[in-house]
Structure 1
Amino acid sequence: MIPFSLPKRNEHLRILCLGAHCDDIEIGCGGTILRLLEENPGATVQWIVFSASTVRAVEFRLSSHCFLGDDNARNSQAHSFPDGYFPHVWKELKDCFEQLKGGASPDLIFTHFRDDLHQDHRIVSELTWNTFRNQLILEYEIPKFDGDFGSPNFFVRLSEEICRQKVRNLLENYPSQGDRNWFTEDTFRAVLRLRGMEANSPTKFAEGFYVRKMSF
């Protein structure tokens, strides 16, 4: 296994996180974001979700402050596209992605896995690749009933403390998801432990990602 580090730059690291639903980013790459901000305190993070009801938008705001801190949380955005209908509002979603081009170019982008079995997730992944061509894009995974977990080819090792913080933030900030039998501490920790084993992580924990293209 070959370790990889982000190139050192004179300017601060710029990160863009994209998710279909309010808790997707936290589930898929929340630990990695916590680690990146710990190691790069000057990093800027733009955190965008595309489907948020009124209740979940409030949860999203609270969660973004816990994961990002107050300054970066101000860059978070929650749109209100209908959950489950992204293929039918493709044009409107595409317009949102086109607007992202006007901002500062991110160094690193997190988005959904292209083979995710949730149609909203796949659309976000597709539009990410339609919009950005010269950035490192890491595709994250979401556990679900469909059973679409694959074999990631990029791993971020995480400390025990970061894993605890990720899971605690998820459970505390998204009470609306408490009735889902998979939205539990043991589910999230099991994924972190499995990917940690695959990454030969000395801490036993990691998050897994898919990389389609990478040059260095």
Structure 2
Amino acid sequence: MIGLALPDGPLRVVCLAAHPDDVEIACGGTLLALAARGGVEAAYLTLTGDLSRQDEARTAAEAFLPGATSVFGGLPDGRLPDRWGEARAVLHEHAERVPAPDLVLAPRPDDAHQDHRLVGTMAPTVWRDALVLHYEIPKWDGDMGRPSTYVPVPDALARRKVELLDACYASQKAHDWWDHEVFLGLLRLRGMECRSRYAEAYTVTKSVLSLGRGTP
């Protein structure tokens, strides 16, 4: 395995979600690790969600990455492909608010859920010069793929992630897939794949490798 690293110093991060809770389910450990790193300016965009769910999402953003800002697109849940033009406009508006991010977290472009898939497909075409990490979300569809990039998550942060998910998203706790075994189980599986106890995994569709000093 080859280790990659984000640049030292302040980071500007864009977190894209089709629905409230997408980012924290998929990337909660990564977000907590970024918060511990410090110097992170995070801007969330969530395309759907009624007012009560927006309140949950704002609370979660602040809990995982203190100081994060949250913007909502107000589009209908489950219908984003029907609102393609509006969804793209919302993403471009966010790109104008947050120019030149260092990192964009977005759904996988091959996610089985139509809303996730649309956001994941659009993200790299809107943020062409940023590193886009496409995250995975466990769900009924059984669409887990083969990730290419891993972020090890310390044990304490993995457990903090699942605690914060429960605390911030009380409206979701009745779902049969919402429990610590699901979340920690996926963290453990991805950790095993990268020789860590826990990890979160991503796919990268395009990246640029710098060969170091003296290269063009």
Between the aligned partners of 2:171 and 2:73, the Cα distance in structure 1 is 18
Q: Does the aligned pair in 2 maintain the 1:157–1:196 contact within 8 Å?
A: yes
Q: How does 1:11-160 map onto structure 2 within 5 Å?
A: 12-39=10-37, 41-69=38-66, 71-72=67-68, 75-103=69-97, 104-160=99-155
For residue 4 of structure 2, what is the aligned residue in structure 1? 4
TM-score (normalizing by structure 1): 0.93
Q: Which amino acid aligns with 1:94?
A: R
What is the alpha-carbon distance in structure 2 between the residues aligned to residue 46 and residue 119 of structure 1?
23
Unaligned 5+ segments in structure 1 are: none
Q: Deviations over 1:59-83 (max 9, x none)?
A: 11111111111x22xx111232111
Give the residue type in structure 2 aligned to 1:83: D
1:47 aligned partner, one-letter code? Y
**Shift in Å at residue 101 of structure 1?**
2.9
RMSD (Å) for aligned C-alpha atoms: 1.1
Three-state SS of the structure 1 residue aligned to 2:176 is coil
Q: 3-state DSSP class of the match of 1:48?
A: strand
Q: Does structure 2 retain, via aligned residues, the 8 Å contact 1:193–1:206?
A: yes
Contact 1:154/1:210, CA 8 A, preserved across alignment = yes
Q: Deviations over 1:148-203 (max 9, x none)?
A: 001111000010111111111101111111121001111000000000000111xx
Can you give the 5+ residue segments of structure 2 that lack an aligned partner in the other structure?
A: 210-216
SS in 1 for 2:75: coil
Q: Which of 199, 206, 211 pairs up with 2:199?
A: 206
Letter in 1 for 2:116: H
Equivalent residues of 1:171, 1:185 under 8 A apart: no
| The one of 203, 208, 215 aligned to 1:215 | 208
SS of equivalent residue, structure 2 residue 42: strand
Higher alpha-carbon deviation: 142-151 or 124-133: 124-133
- Taking the aligned partners of 2:59 and 2:127, their CA distance within structure 1 comes to 28
* Residue matched to 2:213: none
TM-score by length of 2: 0.93
Q: Which residue does the alignment assign to 2:185?
A: 190
More displaced stretch, 53-62 vs 146-155: 53-62
Instruction: Report the Cα offset of residue 134 of structure 1.
Output: 1.1
Contact 2:11/2:41, CA 8 A, preserved across alignment = yes
Question: SS in structure 1 opposite 2:18?
Answer: strand
Moved over 3 A (4+): none
Query: How far apart are the structure 2 equivalents of 1:208 and 1:102?
Result: 28
**What CA deviation, in whole Å up to 9, does each residue of 1:84-116 have, x standing for no partner?**
000111111111112123232101100001110
Give the counterpart letter for 2:40 in structure 1.
A
| Structure 1 segment 153-172 matched on structure 2, within 5 A | 153-172=148-167
